[in-house]
Chain A
Amino acid sequence: MDVRARNNVQVVGERSGAPTMVLAHGFGCDQAMWRLVTPQLAVDHRVVLFDHAGCGASDAAAYDPERHADLAGYAADVVEIVEEVADEPVVFVGHSVSAMIGVLAAAERPDLFSRLVLVGPSPRYVDDGDYRGGFSADEIGELLETMDANYIGWAKVMAPVIVGNPDRPALGAELAEVFCRNDPSAARRFARATFLADNRADLAHVRTPTLVVQNREDVVAPPEVGAYVHEHVPGSDLVVIDSVGHCPNLSHPDLLVRAVRDWLRTS
């Protein structure tokens, strides 16, 4: 199996001696999520990007409803990707659900990871007793309904959108054709694997130095959830960045890059 083709693995900044940093996108989109931070990180890192199975330009034939029915399957993919792209332990930056995928991968194969950066992590989205994940099970059902309501639009072949916006010179026109265009049935399963998962017990198994990056305001992964992750990952650091929303990699790329850099320098 060709892991690089399977997960559409891209390497930016092939510089000898530079440490490898793997950027893992979250639920909803694909590796284009990292477009605004990649140029800065690639200055002193060999940056590896990829699309999760069923997302972006990953190989549709490699999507396996059984393997990818829970996050462990995605974590197994990550382990294979890291083994394929790097000879030494990597810095793994996981956004949203990929934070937990990184936790699972690092707990399973600590030898492959030198650092974990968890951006907007949540080990469980659904409230449970005293634990506040931020959502009820019914509300997760609503998300699936909303995704279904957009099923037709997302499933059809979208006409390419020309990104002729001078404000965004970093973005190529090819990007708009695939960005966020995920296979609807895979996306539905990914949504359930993400929002119905409970990875709280896995946090304690992490032995890799870890940074939790928390958005100041984030309805998907609120600050108390970030604090929970910080408390339960042994020896982790927490930094709250002054960002609003769940995707600082797009909304506040400079803040995110600075937080990651500062921590890598001092940790």
Chain B
Amino acid sequence: MPRSRAERWELAPVALLLLDAEARVVDANAELRRLVDVPDVAALAGRRLGELLTVGGRIYWETHLGPLLRVEGRVDEVAVEVRTPAGREPVLLTAIERRCHGDLLVEVAMLGARERARFERELVDARRTAEAAERQVRSLHGTAADLAGVAGLDAVARVLVRSAVTALGARSAELWVPDGARGLRRWAGAEHVEPPAVDELYETTTRPDGDVVVPLRTAGTLYGVLVLRPRVAPGADPLDLGTVAAAGQLAALALARAATHEQSVSVASELQRAMLADALVHDARVEVAADYRPGVLDLQVGGDWYDTYRIAPDVLALSVGDVVGRGLGAATAMGQLRTAARAAADPELGPAQVVERLDRFVGRTGTGFMASLVYAELDLTSGTLSYSCAGHLPPLLVRADGTSSFLWLARATPLGVQGTSARAADTVHLRPGDVLVLYTDGVVERRDRSLAATLEDLAASVSMRRAAGTRLQDLPGELVAQAVEHDDACVLAVRWLGEDAGSAHEVRPG
């Protein structure tokens, strides 16, 4: 049955509204009136569109849709909710602004979208979940990367507290660690929070004040408790409990690793300190000084050593070497090799044969394979120095007149390497006041400069200090201090004073 266009507007199967320029209802069709359950157009007339929507929809209309409609002339397919007696009804809203006889009018169509809204909500949730997962991976990756770079409890604690802010999005964080029978002790953090309670030590929980408590456990052992304070800014992203709990597991592993590491580090450094303690000979004809600094990156001692000992009343043996590896293993290997070098030395043999004996020791025991070493013997009466280098950097000789040279002769492979050319030795004659410097590669190696350049730097540095009157006792410490800090650095410096200086001939016990 044909109807007029006006009747078809009234009976259309979508909710239709006509609004004036201020978004007030001028007319509403039957479907719209059914939707909001207001049978009478007169009862709707004059009400603003926003009043028909939920508060969220109203603000959205005022801040987004109204402006958009005014600028673009239309908005399409916007999801809002209409307030109905039965509750909130999701609709898709399309609106067009028209000028009609000089007046602005807005035509609005709303289509029920309950099913679609549910489907879209699922899509939004899925997308949210995916975004959250991506954020989680990113923050965990950040935390893991931060933690991987450090050893030692203090460093791990510092990184953990920093990472809680930078990677996990906390405003601040505190770390508590077990303290024997006394419970927990605050270790690091910027703010004071309530100490974790016993029932907070098992899983990640949120306190009533918003603080998040993360027990750091691995394999059943509690290594600490992290307390995160969330950001307070209204737009700040909330802490994600799942991410935080996963980060807590990473942190527990890092703390466990740090505890083991610290134990081995402290044993290794004790051992090394003990072994190097008696390494300097006292004799009036010679000044001897040495220094050693472990690499700071992981606090582990390396296998560097220095040693001086008398092999005859007037002959001083000097050695500086470097065992491959770090930590306890390297420290013990260093001790054995150093002792072996003492045992191998004999005034009748000379440096080449002493090093050959060490090769055999390494071949037999496997200890110190690939270690490098410079071994030298100094005749305190004549100043004759004979030396042999096994894969080690050349000794530096700085003459009393200020000239300097590296002793590049008598070189061969590191210890224990098969098929080596015969060990060689070379001899130089020291004059009173000449300084010999033995050192390990940590003193001169730099990533940004060639070895030749850094060797020149070392020679210049020693000459400069000699000219400036630096005491020999201070020289090793200063050279070690200026080395790049990631590797072990070891320096032994010897100044022959001449036979006459020995007139007092005082031999003090080492």
Contacts and interface: CB of A to CB of B under 8 A. Distances in A.
Interface in A24-41: 26-29, 32-33, 35
A206 B77 CA distance: 42
B196 to A, nearest CB: 27
A135 B59 CA distance: 10
Contacts, number: 146
Contacts of B77: 153
Given A28-B64, A150-B78, A190 B72 contact: no
Contacts of B56: 139, 141-147
B124 A244 contact: no
Interface string A144-170: 111111111100000001010101100
B66 A146 contact: no
Given A175-B71, A193-B235, A246-B63, A146 B57 contact: yes
Interface stretch (B35-43, B115-123, B287-295, B367-375): B115-123
Nearest to A168: B73
Contact of A149 (B117, B127, B131, B237): B117
B73 A180 contact: no
A232 interface: no
Nearest to B234: A196
B62 interface: yes
Contacts of A168: 71, 73
A247 B70 CA distance: 10
Nearest to B63: A28
Contacts of A147: 56, 60
A220 B90 CA distance: 22
Given A153-B78, A245-B22, A179 B60 contact: no
Interface stretch (A4-12, A15-23, A63-71, A76-84): A63-71
A152 B117 CA distance: 11
A257 interface: no
A150 B231 contact: no
Given A142-B56, A143-B55, A180 B68 contact: yes
Nearest to B237: A65
B81, B234, B237 interface centre (most CB from chain A within 10 Å): B234
Contacts of A69: 231, 233-237
Contacts of B21: 251
B79 interface: yes
Nearest to B58: A219
Given A27-B63, A143-B60, A250-B67, A70 B234 contact: yes
A204 interface: no
A57 to B, nearest CB: 15
A220 B56 CA distance: 11
Interface residues of B, number: 43
Q: Size band of the A side of the interface?
A: 35 or more
Interface string A188-222: 01111101110000000000000000000111100
Given A29-B64, A152-B124, A189 B235 contact: yes
A3 B56 CA distance: 33
Given A28-B63, A251-B66, A219 B50 contact: yes
B80 interface: yes
B236 A26 contact: no
A245 B81 contact: no
Given A139-B55, A146-B80, A146-B81, A171 B235 contact: no
A27 B62 CA distance: 10
B233 A193 contact: yes
Nearest to B165: A66
A96 interface: yes
B484 to A, nearest CB: 33
B87 to A, nearest CB: 13
A147 B124 CA distance: 11
Given A147-B60, A246-B62, A251-B70, 19 more contacts: A27-B63, A28-B67, A35-B71, A65-B236, A66-B236, A69-B236, A70-B233, A70-B234, A139-B56, A142-B55, A143-B55, A146-B54, A168-B73, A193-B233, A195-B234, A197-B234, A250-B70, A250-B71, A251-B22
Q: Which 6 A-B pairs have the closest CB atoms?
A: A142-B56, A193-B235, A28-B63, A196-B234, A69-B233, A70-B233
